[in-house]
Structure formats: structure tokens, C-alpha cells
Structure 1
Amino acid sequence: MASSIAITNRSLHDQVASRVRDLIIEGRLEPGSRIDEAHLIEELGVSRTPFREALRTLAAEGLVIVRPSKGSIVRKLTPEDVFSMLEVLGHLEKLAGELACERASDEEVTGLIALHNRMMDCYRTRDRMPYYKMNQEFHSRLAELSKNETLLEMQANIQARLKRIRYIGNQKPDSWAGAVADHEEMVRALEDRDGQRLGTAMATHLKRTWDRVKDSI
């Protein structure tokens, strides 16, 4: 019987990377665990070459550690790692919020608000993975609206390494509801083009993210 997570287009290693990334985010591949390449290659229905390429992609994102001749492992972050990254990310996204209100076009703001609304639809149906992916896209697109390439590059680098951490932040209903309330405040500030308020909302959201995840690391 074919696996439910099998890859249909075997030529695209980014599809493999996407599936393995989801397994890491969901915790099916646990932090610190060795990646059973033979098992996953069979389960995904791909050959070794695109799988190895996918691992290199995930290593570049900071999700996997590739050890020559020893096998690859899922990167395990310490609480200190997570706190320091969230601390820096909070300052980056605060600046992104301030700049986005100054520099984004009306069309770009409308697009980001539409994304938020789709994310809220997923929250109402408790469809967690689509919500999570839209949430990641929201933060990435807000950074893009800063029109600052250095900020965008730094934000993307840290966000990639925190994928699993951000996902577990919504495990508990109260935590998820709190994150949603944060996002609704962000969007209200964005609609008003209030950069200071949006920046503060972004920074506060990242501080609260630490409170939501610290006991699960």
C-alpha cells in the first residue's frame, strides 16, 4: 500500500524537503533523533539523491545536522538557543512593523490583511498546520514590507531555525488563542498605519512566544 505521505513528483527535491520539514515541525522526527534515511526514502517513495539534497537544504535552514559517514540528526535547540533567537527576532520584527507602515503600498497591506483573514478561518476550524504555515508566511511578508533586505535576510534565517518551536507554541488552546489575539492587534495597527503600535505588538508577540514554548523545550 502506498504511503499517505509519498512524493508524487520524484524529480523535485524541494517537495522532499517540504515533507521532511513538516515531519520535524510536527515532532514526528524528534529533536536530537537520528534520521532513518532508508525508512524515510521508502516511506516518501523517492530515491537517495533528492533525499540527500533535501537534507542539505534543511541543514542550511538550521533544522538538520548532516554528519558525514555518521548519518544526519534533527537539530535540538537548548532553551538558551531559543530565548536568544526570539529576543533578536522580537527586535527585528519590531523594526519590520515600523518600516512596513511607512513603506508598504496599500495593495501590499491589503494582501497581508487578506492572508491574516484566511489564517483566522483556519483557526476557527482548528486546522493547525495550514494555520501555522500561513502564520509563518505572515511574518515573512511583513518583513518583506519593510523593504530592508538586511532585515529580511536576518529575519528569514532565524525564523527558519525556529519552525518547530513556533509550531509547539500553539499546542495548548489558551496559547493558541493568545497568539491569535496578538495577530488581531497587529492587523488593527497595520490597518491604521500606526508603525509604533505595530512594532510594539510584534515585539510583545515574540516575548509571549517564549512564555508559550519555554516549558516544552
Structure 2
Amino acid sequence: MILEGQLQPGEKINEKLLTTQFGVSRTPLREALKVLAAEGLLELIPHRGAVITRQSEAELAEVFQVLAALEALAGELAALNATEAEIARIATMTAELRRSYDETDRPTYFRINQAIHKAILHAAKNESLAKSHELLAYRVQRARYQANLTPERWRAAVEEHEAIANALATRDAANCATLMKNHLLRKFASISAQ
């Protein structure tokens, strides 16, 4: 609900409404809210409840710049270090990504998109890179989900993924790095334009 914009930044969580909607008691709901707070999607305010976090454009710009650099490195290393099976798996997921786009299935698209980025990070074979990326990725998860709201940006994102898969398949490390970096920077540019 947060990622899809059903709950807006600054909005207070209505625990009673959510317990009814999900058919759970307050205890599991509050545990879920703690997890979401740890991921930076909401803030727990003592004696006031949970509020959806707001992110400034400056904060997003900083995080996206660092993530773009990390993803560029991941693309370069993956092109050099990935097994043929990992490259084939990324190609398969990229075809599934295209299919979810063609079916305008945003939740599936986002899930596959995240899986592709994780697979590329894994294929880079650099644990420090993966851990650094994971720490920052949570901070912009909502923004990444909402980056492809326009049909034009969504289509471009699919085409960017296809180019990345091709660069991996041809083991073009420099091109893969550039494509990965530009992919993230274009996501941020589309968010800034909203």
C-alpha cells in the first residue's frame, strides 16, 4: 500500500482500519509496522503511532547517485564474473519482465525488476558490494516503485533492462556498467519530474 501510493507520505497509519482490512489483531500488525520502520518506509512516533515517511528530493538524489555507482560496478563485475547459468536466468527474467509490462501488471513487474537487480548483484560475486547496496536500496524502494508511472518511462525501463541483459550476454563489462548507471539515474530523473 505504501509502495503503490495508497498510503501517502506524512499520512498516519490507521491501525484499527488495517487490522479489520487484513483480518489480524494489533500485535502482528505492530510487528509488521516495526519491520516497515526498519526499512525506512514509515516512522514510529511514541504515543502518536506510525506515519509514512517523507523523503526530500535532496535525500533521494544522494541515495540514487550512490546506488547508480554501486549498480554500475555490479553490472561491470557481473559481465566479467557471472556464470552462463546466471546470465541465462537474468535473460529469462528479462523476458518475464517484458511480459509483465505487456500485461500492465505493475506488482509483478516490480517484483521481477527487483529480482533482476538482485541477480546481477549476486552474479558480480562481491559480498561487500551486495551488502552496501542492500543498505541503501531500502531507502528508495518506494521511489523506485513509483518511477515507472508514465507509460513512456515504463516502456523505456523495459528496453533498458533488455539492453542490460544483452550487455551481460556479450560480456561487455564497460557497456553494462554504463547501462546500469544510466538506468538508475533515469529512474531518479523520472521521479524528480513528477
| Interval containing the TM-score (normalised by the shorter chain) | over 0.9
Kept in 2, the 8 Å contact 1:61–1:157? The answer is no
Unpaired segments of 5 or more residues in structure 1?
1-22
Partner of 2:72: 94
Q: 2:44 is paired with a residue of what secondary structure?
A: strand
- Deviation of the 1:68 alpha carbon: 2.0
2:89 maps to: 111
- State whether residues 97 and 195 of structure 1, in contact with CA within 8 Å, keep that contact through their aligned partners in structure 2: yes
The range that moved more, 89-98 or 171-180, is 171-180
Query: Contact 1:168/1:213 (CA < 8 Å) preserved in 2?
Result: yes
Question: Which residue of structure 2 aligns with residue 32 of structure 1?
Answer: 10
1:164 Cα shift? 1.5
Q: Could you tell me how far apart the structure 1 residues matched to 2:101 and 2:139 are?
A: 24
Which residue of structure 1 lines up, in the alignment, with residue 29 of structure 2?
51
Note if contact 1:140-1:156 (Cα within 8 Å) is conserved in structure 2.
no
| Partner residue of 1:196 out of 156, 167, 174 | 174
Matched, 1:212 2:193: no
Q: Any idea what SS the aligned residue of 1:25 has? A: coil
% same residue: 36
TM-score (norm 1): 0.86
Deviation at 1:100, TM superposition (A): 0.9
Question: 1:111-190 maps to which residues of 2 (within 5 A)?
Answer: 111-190=89-168
SS at match of 2:2: helix
Write out the 4+ residue segments of structure 1 that deviate beyond 4 Å after TM superposition: none
Distance (whole Å) between structure 2 residues aligned to residue 158 and residue 166 of structure 1 = 12
Q: Distance in 1 between matches of 2:32 and 2:10?
A: 18
For these two proteins, the number of residue pairs brought into alignment is 194
Distance 1:25 1:125 in 2: 20
Question: What is the root-mean-square deviation of aligned Cα atoms in Å?
Answer: 1.1
Higher relative contact order (CA 8 A, sep 6+): 2
Measured in 1, the distance between the counterparts of 2:5 and 2:124 equals 32
Matched letter for residue 169 of structure 2: E
User: In the TM superposition, what whole-angstrom CA distance separates every residue of 1:140-188 from its partner, at most 9, and x where no partner exists?
Assistant: 2211211212211121222222122112211111111111121111011
Per the alignment, residue 13 of structure 1 pairs with none
Shift of 1:55: 1.0
Paired residue for 2:58?
80
